[in-house]
Each structure stands twice: as C-alpha cells, then as structure tokens.
Structure 1
Amino acid sequence: MENGGMNLHGKLMQTTMLSLIAGLGLTSPAIAQQSDQELNEEDNIIVVTGRLRGDAESVQDVPLAVTVVSPEQLGAQGALNIEDLETLSPSLVIDGVTAGPGAGAISLRGVSFEDVEKSFEPTVGVVIDGVFTGTNTAQLTNAFDFQQIEVLRGPQGTLFGRNTIGGVINVRRSRPTKEFGLRAEATFGNYGRQEFNGVFNIGDGDIFGLKLFGSKRDFDGFYNNVTLDQRTGSNSITNAGGTILIEPNSDLEILLTAEHTKIGGDPASASLSQTGEAICGIPVVANQCNLNTRRDLYTVFGNVLGDIDYGEDAFSAQINYSFGDLTLTSITALKDSDELVIQDFDATSIDFFTTSRAQQYRQFSQELRLAGDFFDNVSGVFGLFYFNNEYQLQQTTTLPNGFGLPSETDHETKSYAAFADIDITLTDALRLSVGARYSKDEKEYTRSIFAGPGPLLDLSNEDDWSQFTPRVSLDYRFSDDLLVYASYARGYRAGGFNGRANSPSSVAVSFDPETVDSFELGGKSTFADGRVTLNVAAFYSRYNDKQEDVVQATPPGSPNPQETVTLNAANATIFGAEIDMRAELFEGFTITSSLGLLDASYDDFFIDVNLDGVEDPGEDASDRDLRRAPDFSFSIAGNYEVPVGNSGTLDLNAKYSTTSSYQTTIVAASTDFGQNDPRGLHQSQDDLSASITYTHLLSDDSELYLRVFGRNLTDGRGLSAALPVAGLFAFGSAIAPRQYGATVGFRF
C-alpha cells in the first residue's frame, strides 16, 4: 500500500493498546447471557447466534470479532438492503455489481470477491436463516423482515466452511409469533423509488404459527442515457413467501419456509475508455472517451437498453429437537433460479461488445448438528454438512462486426464436511476453544464455444480437493466487564475451473484452493453501569495461493490471442485493527461508532504473460494494491429519542462515515505493469445521512410511525467499480447520488 506501511503498523498497535487500557480501567455490573435474540434495551445486552451453540450468547462473551446490526439502525438510514451494512461494521466494503441480479462485491478485512461467474466462489459467506448462499447473485437481500444481522469478521472456516475466508454476514429473519399481528410500511423517494413491505402473523398462541411476508421495490435509476434519451439503471425486486412454525411440545420445533423472488431492471454501464484502447479509435465515439470518473459517470451512452430477468424459488426446513442439555438441529434447503442478463458492456453508442447471459442455477444443502453442554465444563457443537450446486450458462457475445459468438458452460459442485467446535472451561476465568473442519470438494465442468453449426471448442474437466481448517482461541475474563482473547483460525476458498476459458489449455487446468491464516488479539469491555461497550481487535492474516484473474497469451490455434484466466498467482499479508463502540450517554441518547484500519499488500504476484514459465521483466505485479482494501474506515451515528406528549416519541438520527480510497480493479495500468489501472480507483468518500421518525403509540403493542430521511446528503459522486477489458474498452458504475424520501408504517 501507499504512504508507508510501518507508520500504519504503529497506529494499529497504539489504537489497540489504548482501547484495551480503557477497558481495563473501568468496571460495571456483569452482563449475563440470555436466550433473547434481540437487543435488550433495559440491560443493554446484544446477543448473537453465529457460533451455532444452540442458544444465543451475549456478544460480550464470545471470543470473536462481531458486529450486530438491528433493524432500527438500518431503518433509520432509509435502507434498501444489506448493502447498507457497509459503514456500520469495521473493515467492511459492499459495492453493487450491475452484471448480476442483486449481486454484491463484498470485502471484509481486505478479502474480496466480485465476479458473477458462478464457477467462482465468494470469499465472504452470506447466510440467511442458516442457509448458505452459493453465489453472490441475489446476496443483497431486503432488510425489512429480519431480526438482526451479525457480521462475523475473519475466517469462519470451522463453523461455516468453504468460502468464508473474509468472514460471514449472518442474517436472521423474524420468526412467526403464533399470534395475530401485522406490520406494514411504504416508502417513497426520489429517482422513482417506491417500496412496499408487509409481514402478517397468525396462530393459535401455543403450537402453531404462520408468517406471511412480502415486499416490492421499484427504482428508476440515476443514470442519464443521452443515446436512448431516458433514465437508466433501474431495478425492481419482488419477494413473497411464508414460514410455518410448529411446536408440538417444549422439546421440538419445526420451521418450514417457502418464498419466491423476482428481480428486474436494466444494468447501465458508464464509459471509462480512453485513448489507446481499440474502441476510442472509432471516430463516432471519440467524444465518449477520456471522461472523468466523478460526475461524468452519470451520463451514459449505451445504445442497447440492458435487461435483467431473474426468478428464484427457495425452500427450507429447520428442525430443532432438544433433549437434556443438547439440541439436535437439521437444516435442509433448496434454491432454484433462472436468470437472463443482457448488458452493453462497451458503454458506447455503437455495437461493439454486448452479451446475453441465460443461466439456470440450483443448489441443495443439508446440515446436521448437535450443540449444547456435553459435560460440566465442555460445551460446543458437532456437525455434518453436504452441499451441491449446478448451473448451466448459455452466453452469446456480439462483437463489433455483428457476429455473435455463442458459448455454453455446464458446471457442478459437490461438497462434504464434518466439523466440531468446543469450549473447555479451564477455570472460572479461563476458557479454551478449539475447532476443526474437514471438507472435500468435487467439481465437474464442460465448456463449449460455437462458430457455426458445430462447436469450435468442446472440452471437459473434473477435479477434487480436500482441506483441513482448524481454529483455536484462549480467552480470559479479568472481571465481569472485561474479556480478552487471542485466537488463530484458518479459512479456505474452494478451487475450481476458469468459467470463461477460451482455449483447451485453460479448460484443462484447474486452480487450487486459497487459504487465509489469521491471528487475532481482542478485548470486550463494558463500563458506566453497562451503558457503554467498547470492543477492539487487532489481526494479522497470511493470504496464501491467492486466486487472481490474469490476462495472458493463449496457445497457437486458440480462438483469441489472449484470455483472462484465474490462477493461484499471489500471496499477500494483511494487518488490521478494529473498534466497535456503543454508548448511551444519557437517557434517550445513544451513539454507535466503528473504526477499521488496514494495511494490505502483496508479498508476490507473478503473471506469466508469455507462458514461458519464467518471471521475465514486466511480469511482477506485486506492487499492485489488493482490491477493496481501504486503509481507513470510520463511522459514527447518534440517535436521540424525545418523548412527545403521553403517547409519542421523536427519534432524531444522524450518521457520518468516511472511507479512504481503494482499488476496484486488479488490471494493470497501461503505462505501468506493476500498478493498478487508475480508472479503478474508488475515491475517498464521506457520507452524511439523517432521519427524523415520529412514532405514535396506539396501545401496548400497536403503533404508527412516519420517517423522513436523506442519504448522501452532501451529494458525493464518483466511481463505484471499474473494469478495463484487454485493451479493447473499459466500463464502470457510479455510487448513488443524494437520495431522500419518506416512510409511513404501522404495526399491531
């Protein structure tokens, strides 16, 4: 990274030590563990379930860096989806990906992924009600009907398995209440935003409960397409389903969920092409090149209106059976989706490079685990896991001469795992936690490229890998108010095949898993009679066999002279420090804040451009920056609740956040192979958001509320993501400009 890594290392240590000292010097009454899974406003207790122990645990009792976000925190921002988590957790970056329906480029502690190709695996797991999402498509779920979101930072390979080397976003939606109830709200905002959400509960108050939920959101987009003379970048999401809860007795619980999701819109792209790239040599589009990456991004030129058509059916069954101090849990889930995405990637007013991607995706998973207290001083979880997904992709790429190049991909993954994670109480104050997971992945892959009636390339491959991911931590409770821990954990991202391979050699070669070994020191402290919590963590991560997209020459006879392939091309080191703070300064006034510091750099990064097996001059990329690894991120939010009369409250909420600049592309600069293309730089960004909410209490369990909100109030503009394409053209997307609106809702 730039600006001197050694100075940042010193800042990391100073920040961590000062925070630990602050925690050591202040005491307060103990915070007890409880089963309630929401924020307990009276006792200021926040609980988590991310360690899969069966019962919820106080966040202050777990030797793990975790941020818990409530519905109220997101609602106060006028949140659209879990993308709005970004500034609420340290070291978390979430950018939208226009080429994938509801897809996110999620980075946690400098470990990132953004590709919509389903042969590649995410690095941050998104888990919704215990079900792992196998691709980044449709990850950015609606944020209305949930209980809380837990951001678990660092490798989670023991409990959550493959593809969680950066961490896990654990989403828990609301459960059926078994009583009559209704919650609904409507939101209207600029850029044509209309959103309607509702949750309806009914039941017998004892054994049976049914929850019906639905949401619909429409957004016109904020790009001005001067070629088509219309606003573009629209999106719409419709989600509807139901959950049945059956509890025939106190020991047995059955949860059955079925839902359908539909995503639509048009994926707009902004032109980032510049002189020297092929498309800029065409006179008619010369004025669409060499634009800036700030306000110019919002004027686009594409001559093809893109299209997104995505539909998914999802089903899950969770069964919990308790006997003694143990709980046996089974989670069975199926997702089945169809999607079509048409996108004008060249982002200009001529036909140059447009793709049509039709995909069918299916995933099935089964998890079985036993959790609880096994002996007086031994508790934890044992489990088995099976995962299978398969997809078929039919893609047609239309080239400048109007010729369409069809291709097909057929891919299947099977994964098996056995895991255990155990807490051993050594003394009243000292606890040892150990865990391990053994995983085996099997993949099969066929790639076909057509030129005329028959395939020009029709090749297959298969491979398998196994991985052992251990974890160990030791925590010591100095007092009821201070827990300090040290831990080591390994996570891995599965190996695979090059999903867009264009030569026999790249189909024939698979890439191996990448791993992250993370060492962490942290502290959890509470003081001021439990009204303040301060949690800190410092970590060192070794990123081994890192999978990177590289552009290299193809063997003679290949359809194209070069191609982008994924290889285990690099190793990296990441240092970091994080702070989470929540404080009730006085009655009704609460502040939450987070701070993340990162120092991420490649140790080595070799790109064999000419395929001779030797690192020649101009093939060392180790000076490039890792993607989505900002040096600094900070947020602070305040909420002041003011009584209004006998039955009303007014909530005043404001949040400020700032994130330093970071790279979004690993492609080399045209003038310097060792540096990232500067067009992919996401500039440093300050964001100010605010809301005012009036709530009128109708009875003990019924209320009306009205909220007005503003997001990005300073109207900061700039690049969200960029991708230069092999000297041909470059395209990108923009961050959302100022947005504002109003929400009206009720619950009873």
Structure 2
Amino acid sequence: MRAASNLKSGISLLTIGAAFASSAMPALAQDTADGTSADDGDVIIVTGRLRGDESVQDVPLAVTVVSVEQLGTQGALNIEDIETLAPNVIIDPVGAGPGGGAISMRGVSFEDIEKSFEPTVGVVIDGVFLGTNTGQLTNAFDFEQVEVLRGPQGTLFGRNTIGGVINIRRSRPTKEFGIKAEATLGKYGREEYNAVLNVGDGDMFGLKLWGYDRTFDGFYDNVTLGIDAGSSSNTNIGGTLLFEPTPDLEILLTVEHSKIGGDPAVASVSQNTDLICILFANPNPAPPATFNLIPEQCNRDLKDDLYTVFGQFLGDIDFSEESYSAQINYSFGDLKLTSITALKDSDERQTQDFDATSIPFFQTDRAQDYRQFSQELRLAGDFTDSISGVLGFFYFENEYQLDSTTILPGGVSSSNGTDHQTTSYAFFADFDVALTERLRLSVGGRYSIDEKEYRRFVLNGIDLTNEDEWKEFTPRVSLDYDVSDDVMVYASYARGYRSGGFNGRGISPTSVQTSFQPETVDSYELGAKTTFLGGAGIFNIAAFYAQYDDKQEEVVQATPPGSPNPQETVTRNAASATIKGLEADLRVELFDDFTITGSLGLLDADYDNFFIDLNLNGLQDPGEDASTREMRRTPDVTFSVAADYKIPVSNSSELALNARLSTSSSYQTTIVAAPGDFGSNDPRGVHPSTTDLSAAATYRFDLSDQASAYLRVFGRNLLDERGISSTLPVAGLFTFAGAIPPRQYGVTLGFEF
C-alpha cells in the first residue's frame, strides 16, 4: 500500500511538471528550424547508443546526462554523487573493497567484492568496461560527461549489463597548449589536487597528461586506538595520445596508473542476538573472566553512535592498478569502424577488523591479483538512407587469484584461496529503421557465450575445481514516434542477462562444485521526451515494468556432513521479483543564466518468491520462505532539484551560485533475516530516509583573454543527516556497518588556460 501511495503521489507530481512544461511562459530563447535553442549549448548530446553524437531528446531510452560541472560545483568529484542527480539510482560505497561501489539501478543491484561475480550495472570509461566493482568510485575531475542509461543495455555496449550502464567520457586531447588545475581543502583533512595538461601541434597530434591526488583523514573516532579512522587516499596519473594522420583516421592511446590506500573503518552494530555480544557483553558475567569485555560496544544507537568505533587494530588498504587502452576510429562514408583494446592489471591487499570491536574476534587479510583484457570491434553509422545502427563483436577475459586468511578468537586462523578465469564472447547489433518521417523502429540482439573455470583451496587442504559454460540470446525492440518537433513518445522491450558462476566463498565440496545459473530481466518501458520554451527546457518521463527471474542471492545455509564449518554463505538462483516504477527528468533555463534541474524516481519492487533451502533437502519447508523480505537498495522515492544562477560582477568576472536538494526514502541494504523473524530483513540494515542539502558559491574571474581562475566555497550534507549507509550481519556472529558521511565543507582554488 505504501508503494502504491507513492506511485499516486508521483503521478500527481509528474502531472504538475507536464502542466508546467505545456503552460510555461513564451519562449525565452530564439527557435531554430529544428526546434532546438539557437545556443548550441542547450542541446544535450549523448553517445551511449554508439551512433555518434545524438541529442538526448532523440534517444528512445531513459538516460540522464550529468556534466562534470554539476558535480564539481558541489565539491563532488566522485561518480558516487551521480545518485543525487539521476532517478532510481543508488550508489553506496563498499568498505570491504578498494574504491568499490554498491550500485543499484531500477532495483537491480550488486555489491559483492568477490571478483567471481558479474556486476549488474556496468561502469564504462572511454569504452572500456570495468569487470569488477573495485575502483569504480573514481575521481571525475577530467570527465567530460557522464551518461546514466537505465535498463538492460546488452545490445549497445561490449559487455553485457542487466541493470544499466554508467557511461563516462573523459575529455579528449585538444591538440593545443592548455592547463587546467585546482586544489581543494576541506573538513576531515581533505586535500585534493587535480591537473590536466594539453599540448599538440593544433593539427594531427595531441597529448593530454593528467593527475590527481586526494587524501582524507576520515570521520570516525577510534576510541580504542585514540586516532581518527576511515582515512582514504587516491592517486591517479595518466596520459592520452591522440594522432590523426588523415581526416578519416584517429588513434587514441591511453596509459594510467592508479593507487588507492587508507584504512577500512566500520562501526559495531552487534546486538544481544549476535554471538560476540552473548559471549563478551553479558551484563551478569559468569566464568570465564573474559565475559563482559565490550558491553558498551553492543546494542548501540544506529545514528550518532556510528561515528565512534572500537576496532583494536587499524586495517590497511593497498591497491595499485596499471591500465592500457588503444582506440582506433576509421571513418568511410557514413560509417565508422571502431576498435577498442584494453588491459587492466591490479594488485591489492586489504586487512580489516570486521567485527569492529576492541577484542580480536574476526579479522581478515585478503590479497588479490586481478587482470582483465578486452577487445571490441564495431561498425556504426548510417547503413542506408533509412537504416542506421551498430554491429559489433566483443571479447573479454579476466582472471584473479585470491589468498585469504581469517583470524578468529584466540588467534586461530584459517586460510583459503581461489583461482578463477572467465572467457566471454559476444556478437551484438542494434539498428534503427525509419518507417516514415516520424515513425522509427529499433531492433537489436546480443548472443553471449560465457565460459568460466574455478579452483578453490579451502580448509584442511581441500582442493576443488569446477567449470561451466552459459549461452544466451537477449533481444531488444522499440518503437518511437515524433508527435511534433518538440514531443517524441516511445515503447520498448529489452531482456537483460547476467552470467552464472561459482561460489567464491564456498567451503564445502558441494557448494564449490555446484554452479549457480544466469539470471534474467525482461524490461518493458513507455516514455516521452518533450522540449519546451524553444529548446530552453526539457521534460522527460518513463514508466517501466520488469520481471526479474532466477535472481542470484547470497544465502547462509547449513553445510553437508563432514564440512569444516557448520554453515556457509553461497549464491543461489533463489528468487524472482517484479519491479515497476516511474522516472522523470526536468531541465529548464527560466531566464538568462538561471537554470533549474530536477529528477524524480518512484519504485515498487517486491519478491515474487525467495526460497532459502536451509536444510538442503530441495523442498520448500515451513520457515524457508523469504519472499516477504525487502529487496536491497530499492527506495520508494528518489528526488532531487538543483538551481544554478550566474551573476555578472564585472566585464571580466561572475559569481555562480549553486544549490541542490536531494532526498530518498528509506531502503534496506541487507537481505539477512531479522533475529527471530525469517520473513523480514534485519532492521539494522535500513538506510534511513535522508535529505541532502548541498550548496556552493564560485567566483570566476579572467586573468587574461585566455586564462581564468576561480574560487569556490562549498558545503555538503549541510543538514548533517546521519545514520546507516550499509550494514552486513555475519552469520549470527557479529554485525558491522558503515555510516553516512556527516556535514562537510571546503574551499577550491582553480585555474584554466
């Protein structure tokens, strides 16, 4: 009933928005013949469909375009902040993996740090797919644009994605001398330095060098060690060489080095239902004398208490990655042939005190080597006067080796290891067919082949292997119609597919040697793209319905007799779900230099069934139905509105004022059952309903005809909203959580030439 009420409220809001769009004042900008503003800057260009540059208003997809200026003006240069600008998108950091993100799009989410799993939402940077969520939350200073494409995108991008794509384009070498640099100082010891240098001959050759370095002391207070905790550091340096020997040929070569460090602090939210509190926080202790060691570290408040932590040793993050890519574009006639070759090679080690208390109870040491190679070939453009599209082939392989040691109470340790390889091939195509001047049919398909091999070393020297292969065809079809020069409506269907795999944390022969199968999403969408005020405003709306089948979920279950542990966490095709919702994007320049942007997302996501076979008998017995639990990261409402106003101060200076208000209703971050209530999620996993107010003032002034500087002061989470960011209960042993970053503020000084 709550979801239905929110949907009704959302329809009312959208109706008001549509009425505003249709009854707004007379156009404030001159119209051109094609209905766009005379100012080319009013036309928002996207490249996500791989057909070259297209207006976002001509694309029959739900897509939100985020400029780097929208992030930078709020002191936010991390893709995590996209969630406040796009509807039905949630991005939470994953503390157990360096730079890892738990990204949810339209209720399809993923957060696991095990590299044996496929991401549900793809992050693509300059055409290169990131095969793991490690390092996804990267700095955005050198980004030119971010496109958030919601829904399955297997026919458009090299790597298959079931939930959507965050498509990131860095700035290209300009082939002319130029410098852009800035420095930021902020609360909690934030220091950030960014720079981009361009050189070239102005014709055939261009070289772009970039670098950034960010350090942050953290906002947790570790009272056991007497230090600040939750620190992070991020360094990235690289270069892109652009060579254009002829007007039809361009070659882009990129090399970069990334390093992530810090300490992964987490808060204790264990309660009397967790073993650690039963053993060590009993208010009426009995022998042995070790009882009652941590009473103040259990049963804590899930708001302000989160920022005081007790870890008895400071964990460490050590991640480094080398990346290389080559993109070759060759144009002939109306077609472009593109080749993208990429290699990523990373080493990481992370030690962490997961139990988050002052006693040694559960600590981990995880060392991993990861390598991915991809090759994409595609032909795109106008094949005939009435047919345009893209035809492509994609090859992807990755491998990783993991050595993991867990230290338990009393110093007892257990070790395990993983050696995993993936090889994938895919053919994909997506074509637009102009049926009439106003009616267009789009059809596409993808055929995927995924092969995986797996070796697992577990307790007592057990060495287990598994291999499997999956094949899937996923279609897409849409029909769009230009009602007028300012209104386009469309309907679409797409199937998304996520490969099967193996249990990266399995400890029993049965779980290691049992594969989980692919999951699929059938997504239906109706939408409209509207332009008003002579191109100065856009209002886009989409309604969608998705059927999620064979959903892969992590479940805790008993192990077969003879296993080294009584229970284990495994992945099973345990659930199906129905997801439906509404989305809207609004952008309008009300008058010169004053722009309003907004987004609204409404979501209704429910499990149809969710069966956890606790006793492994293959039957759904009483007490094994989890279908009444909430799906993770599916808030009923996400909403944002932002205002940007530029005020001329003199002929050579201006003041830009920016404010953004965003909110989301509460949502669950864990699917673990509540203590004593198998059908409900653990209430400690609720991310509370939050309202984030951010603002900035930027004074920009010209130093010369070619150089300018700017000074910005900014504040984030000005209302100082606090609470749970994400929570993980661990098999009844203990529970830990991350906290929402508190109020922050800072100052940025920048220079451009």
**TM surpasses 0.5:** yes
Classify 1:697/1:41 alpha carbon distance in 2 versus 1 (closer, same or farther; 3 Å). farther
Amino acid in structure 1 at the alignment position of 2:593: G
Classify 1:741/1:193 alpha carbon distance in 2 versus 1 (closer, same or farther; 3 Å). same
Post-superposition CA distance 1:160-215 (Å, at most 9, x none): 25552111000000000000000000000010000000000000000000000000
Amino acid in structure 2 at the alignment position of 1:577: L
1:463 aligns with 2:463: no
> d(CA) in 2 for partners of 1:588 and 1:543?
44
1:509 aligns with 2:538: no
Aligned residue number for residue 445 of structure 1: 454
SS in 1 for 2:697: strand
Amino acid in structure 1 at the alignment position of 2:649: V
Moved over 3 A (4+): 3-34, 39-43
Is the contact made by 1:255 and 1:319 (CA closer than 8 Å) also made in structure 2? Answer: yes
- CA drift at 1:720: 0.3
Classify 1:102/1:287 alpha carbon distance in 2 versus 1 (closer, same or farther; 3 Å). same
Aligned residue number for residue 686 of structure 1: 691
Task: Return the match for 1:534 from 539, 542, 546.
Answer: 539
Task: Return the match for 1:199 from 193, 196, 201.
Answer: 196
1:295 aligns with 2:304: yes
SS in 2 for 1:74: helix
Task: Return the match for 2:602 from 584, 597, 602.
Answer: 597
Aligned residue number for residue 52 of structure 1: 50
Per mean C-alpha deviation after superposition, the further-off stretch among 318-327 and 160-169 is 160-169
Aligned residue number for residue 503 of structure 2: 498
Per mean C-alpha deviation after superposition, the further-off stretch among 310-319 and 400-409 is 400-409
Post-superposition CA distance 1:355-414 (Å, at most 9, x none): 000000000000000001101100001000000000000000001121110111000000
Task: Return the match for 1:558 from 560, 563, 570.
Answer: 563
> d(CA) in 2 for partners of 1:379 and 1:393?
45
Post-superposition CA distance 1:600-634 (Å, at most 9, x none): 00000000101111111110000000000000010
Aligned residue number for residue 732 of structure 1: 737
Amino acid in structure 1 at the alignment position of 2:168: V
1:71 aligns with 2:68: yes
Aligned residue number for residue 275 of structure 1: 272
RMSD of Structure 2 on Structure 1 (CA): 1.6
Aligned residue number for residue 180 of structure 1: 177
> d(CA) in 1 for partners of 2:32 and 2:48?
22
Is the contact made by 1:12 and 1:538 (CA closer than 8 Å) also made in structure 2? Answer: no
Q: Unmatched 5+ residue regions in structure 1?
A: none
Aligned ranges for residues 169-248 of structure 1 at < 5 Å? 169-248=166-245
Post-superposition CA distance 1:724-745 (Å, at most 9, x none): 0111000010010000000001
Aligned residue number for residue 653 of structure 2: 648
SS in 2 for 1:147: strand
SS in 1 for 2:684: helix
SS in 2 for 1:155: coil
> d(CA) in 2 for partners of 1:689 and 1:22?
26
Classify 1:500/1:32 alpha carbon distance in 2 versus 1 (closer, same or farther; 3 Å). farther
Aligned residue number for residue 257 of structure 1: 254
What is the TM-score with the length of structure 1 in the denominator? 0.97
SS in 1 for 2:191: strand
Amino acid in structure 2 at the alignment position of 1:448: F
Post-superposition CA distance 1:57-79 (Å, at most 9, x none): 00000001100011110011101
SS in 1 for 2:510: helix
- CA drift at 1:139: 0.5
Post-superposition CA distance 1:234-285 (Å, at most 9, x none): 0000000100000001000000000000000000010010002110021101
> d(CA) in 1 for partners of 2:479 and 2:307?
51
> d(CA) in 2 for partners of 1:33 and 1:56?
17
Is the contact made by 1:30 and 1:481 (CA closer than 8 Å) also made in structure 2? Answer: no
Is the contact made by 1:20 and 1:523 (CA closer than 8 Å) also made in structure 2? Answer: no
Task: Return the match for 2:398 from 389, 399, 413.
Answer: 389
> d(CA) in 2 for partners of 1:23 and 1:629?
29
| % identity of equivalent residues | 67
SS in 2 for 1:60: helix
Aligned residue number for residue 284 of structure 2: none
Amino acid in structure 1 at the alignment position of 2:228: R
- CA drift at 1:5: 4.0
Task: Return the match for 2:432 from 423, 437, 458.
Answer: 423
Aligned residue number for residue 363 of structure 1: 372
Is the contact made by 1:67 and 1:151 (CA closer than 8 Å) also made in structure 2? Answer: yes
1:705 aligns with 2:710: yes
Aligned residue number for residue 131 of structure 1: 128
Classify 1:720/1:89 alpha carbon distance in 2 versus 1 (closer, same or farther; 3 Å). same
Aligned residue number for residue 80 of structure 2: 83
Task: Return the match for 2:670 from 650, 665, 670.
Answer: 665
Task: Return the match for 1:743 from 742, 745, 748.
Answer: 748
1:547 aligns with 2:544: no
> d(CA) in 1 for partners of 2:237 and 2:440?
44
Aligned ranges for residues 301-320 of structure 1 at < 5 Å? 301-320=310-329
Aligned residue number for residue 288 of structure 2: none
- CA drift at 1:156: 0.8
Per mean C-alpha deviation after superposition, the further-off stretch among 63-72 and 358-367 is 63-72
> d(CA) in 1 for partners of 2:160 and 2:230?
30
> d(CA) in 2 for partners of 1:726 and 1:746?
52
SS in 2 for 1:224: strand
Aligned residue number for residue 339 of structure 2: 330
Classify 1:33/1:551 alpha carbon distance in 2 versus 1 (closer, same or farther; 3 Å). farther
Amino acid in structure 2 at the alignment position of 1:7: S
Q: Unmatched 5+ residue regions in structure 2?
A: 281-291
Aligned residue number for residue 94 of structure 2: 97
> d(CA) in 1 for partners of 2:274 and 2:435?
64
> d(CA) in 2 for partners of 1:196 and 1:326?
41
Post-superposition CA distance 1:486-538 (Å, at most 9, x none): 00011111110000001000011001111111100011111111111101100
Aligned residue number for residue 115 of structure 2: 118
Classify 1:656/1:13 alpha carbon distance in 2 versus 1 (closer, same or farther; 3 Å). closer
> d(CA) in 2 for partners of 1:33 and 1:179?
34
Aligned residue number for residue 286 of structure 2: none
Classify 1:499/1:707 alpha carbon distance in 2 versus 1 (closer, same or farther; 3 Å). same
1:522 aligns with 2:527: yes
Amino acid in structure 2 at the alignment position of 1:349: S
Is the contact made by 1:19 and 1:536 (CA closer than 8 Å) also made in structure 2? Answer: no
1:635 aligns with 2:640: yes
Per mean C-alpha deviation after superposition, the further-off stretch among 118-127 and 330-339 is 118-127
> d(CA) in 2 for partners of 1:129 and 1:550?
36
> d(CA) in 1 for partners of 2:521 and 2:668?
21
Is the contact made by 2:645 and 2:656 (CA closer than 8 Å) also made in structure 1? Answer: yes
Task: Return the match for 1:285 from 294, 307, 320.
Answer: 294
Amino acid in structure 2 at the alignment position of 1:714: L
1:150 aligns with 2:147: yes
> d(CA) in 2 for partners of 1:31 and 1:569?
55
Post-superposition CA distance 1:570-610 (Å, at most 9, x none): 00000110110001111111110000000000000000101
Classify 1:43/1:259 alpha carbon distance in 2 versus 1 (closer, same or farther; 3 Å). closer
SS in 1 for 2:411: coil
Post-superposition CA distance 1:34-80 (Å, at most 9, x none): 9xxxx996551100000011x21000000011000111100111013
> d(CA) in 2 for partners of 1:665 and 1:423?
41
